[in-house]
Structure 1
């Protein structure tokens, strides 16, 4: 794949039209936190029939499972079988409000994705379908205040067996959708007396309002203001075994690693949206802004900035195209491949956005010109889903193991 097809471009233009009508006029409300993003995302889903596609794919998978064929198709419900319909909304939304994609992606790709991969048929029906259609909002809770990049080893949240169920305790932070989530996929360690770093990691599904579960108000942060982020506190939350996700090998740790692949590969599409918007804004500004009697686009230093932005756009777009081709071929990137995609694209988006701010000069530092917001948002790509430093580790370990 070297370019978008005519059908892809029709989808892109339709999504872009919806964004221009529904998102851009509400950007200030989203940035201020006054408007949670979820009704906008639901409108996107209904407008383009994404909810019905997800529902149809979910039921088709359930029928396959009943017939004994339930392998290799975990993400059908989220994608609806159309790679462009999956990627293009991400790219276009990230040109305007990357936080919307974070909110949507965590609910669908991580919360629903984990339940679809690791849940029983009953658990999928109980929790995943409403997430896939975005009737409910999901959160994926793994990060803790004292673990960060050491997500597994430093995890302190616990599950203690009690009677026919478990009692959960602990806290999570930096949880996307945490303040508003209806359904929470919660990672913790089995409290079985072993050394904490050696304990088994379990994954549970929680519902808003359960006794002992506290979801805090949104945290204040540097960027991604249109994506609410919060903390979770669990104080003796009692859960039955029906809430434990146990299917598949490797337990909760393997489940989380699979989700890291999905999340990191998706950052390439998010980065492309930011790069495209920063480049378009910069080209337009370079044509209109004049200094010393000529437009600034005639100066070679400005031309160098624009040329480097275009190189970054082409490179990241090619990563997105490669990922789409892998999806079509039924192949999932390795953790190292996904890490490489994320490392390069996140750095490229952040660099392009900061160069756009520099190109705009004093205006670039003002929120009115939007590159200020995009620069703040792009920086988050180098931190969440694993910092740049963690991506380097995963890439290098894979190379050295060959």
Structure 2
């Protein structure tokens, strides 16, 4: 794949039209954190029929499972094709040109919260929680990061589940949780309190609902960027969860499930980065043509041309990573953790560098929110932190190389 198809371009242009009508007029409220993103995301779903498509796909899948068919999401029928991958990528790219936080909020609810339930849940659990998340009728959160664990998500995890009769008693806290303040459904990771060494304990995954006794969801945290993606903390004090809330299906334990989600999340950062890079490049080219210095457009100066050229190289490279990901899905293959880490490491760094170069090219104007590159630079920085910092990506890539 070397370029978007005619069908892809039609989808892209339709999404752009919706963004111009619905998102751009609300950018100030989104970036101020005054407007939660969920109604806009639901509008996107309804406008393009994504909610009805989700209902139809969900009904077919549940029917197969009731009939004794595949239940872990690995059947060929469930595996996304290259065409579907392109259709999924394009809205991500276009939204990230304007408000990357919208994609973060949507991606965590769909890809991580709903995705975990659909991979590891029983039929009953999928029917109970899955569909409402897949249609965005409800908001999902994926809670793994803790205040004292950081990138050592599993080894440093302190949240616990203690068996108490037919139930589990959950205690602990989570931080930096996307959608945490507004989530209706929370996929919660913790360790089984079984007396073993804490670092060796089994990882369990529960599904929790807003309003459960002992579960507190904080107000949105203030942060550097991604203001359109609410982030919060979760506090659990003797939350009682029945066995019906424990996800035990699929392959592997909770730790393996989380790793699979890291692959999805990290590969998705390439598409998000491409959106930021394309928008920063477009804004920079337009500015270089119009802004004059000493009677000539600044685009005539070689230092400005060098910045634009480097932005274009980054755009081509990250676009190629996105196209490669689409081709892999078309071939029925998902990236390995190391491959996804490599995609994220390069694309996140490229997006950050391009956005900061755009701010520099705009000079004083680039530091002003009116010119938009300021917001994109703040948002792009998060790509190098969430879903594992740059340093964690390096570790996963190097370990894979050294194990061969």
- Tell me the TM-score range normalised by the shorter chain: over 0.9
Among 31, 56, 74, the alignment partner of 1:72 is: 74
C-alpha separation between the residues in 1 aligned to 2:357 and 2:379? 14
Q: Comparing 13-22 with 244-253, which one deviates more in the overlay?
A: 244-253
Q: Aligned Cα RMSD in Å?
A: 1.5
Among 85, 99, 102, the alignment partner of 1:100 is: 102
1:5-57 Cα deviation digits (max 9, x unpaired): 00000000000000000000000000111100000000000000011111111
Q: Secondary structure at the match of 1:82?
A: helix
Q: Secondary structure at the match of 1:373?
A: helix
In structure 2, the residue matched to 1:159 is 161
Q: Comparing 66-75 with 336-345, which one deviates more in the overlay?
A: 66-75
| Aligned pairs (5 A) from 1:1-400 | 1-65=1-65, 66-70=67-71, 71-73=73-75, 76=78, 82-400=84-402
Q: Is the 8 A contact 1:78 1:132 kept in 2?
A: no
Cα distance, 1:64–1:17 mapped onto 2, change above 3 Å: same
Aligned length: 402
Q: Is the 8 A contact 1:272 1:316 kept in 2?
A: yes
Q: Is the 8 A contact 1:319 1:341 kept in 2?
A: yes
Cα distance, 1:40–1:339 mapped onto 2, change above 3 Å: same
C-alpha separation between the residues in 2 aligned to 1:297 and 1:75? 51
Shift of 1:68: 1.9
Cα distance, 1:391–1:80 mapped onto 2, change above 3 Å: closer
Shift of 1:313: 0.4
C-alpha separation between the residues in 1 aligned to 2:56 and 2:345? 35
Cα distance, 1:74–1:369 mapped onto 2, change above 3 Å: farther
C-alpha separation between the residues in 1 aligned to 2:342 and 2:336? 10
Shift of 1:263: 0.2
Q: Is the 8 A contact 1:269 1:320 kept in 2?
A: yes
C-alpha separation between the residues in 1 aligned to 2:81 and 2:211? 30
C-alpha separation between the residues in 1 aligned to 2:77 and 2:296? 53
Q: Secondary structure at the match of 2:220?
A: coil
Shift of 1:79: 8.9
C-alpha separation between the residues in 1 aligned to 2:83 and 2:179? 26
C-alpha separation between the residues in 2 aligned to 1:232 and 1:200? 21
Cα distance, 1:83–1:221 mapped onto 2, change above 3 Å: same
Q: Is the 8 A contact 2:110 2:134 kept in 1?
A: yes
| Structure 1 moving runs of 4+ over 6 Å | 77-81
TM-score by length of 1: 0.98
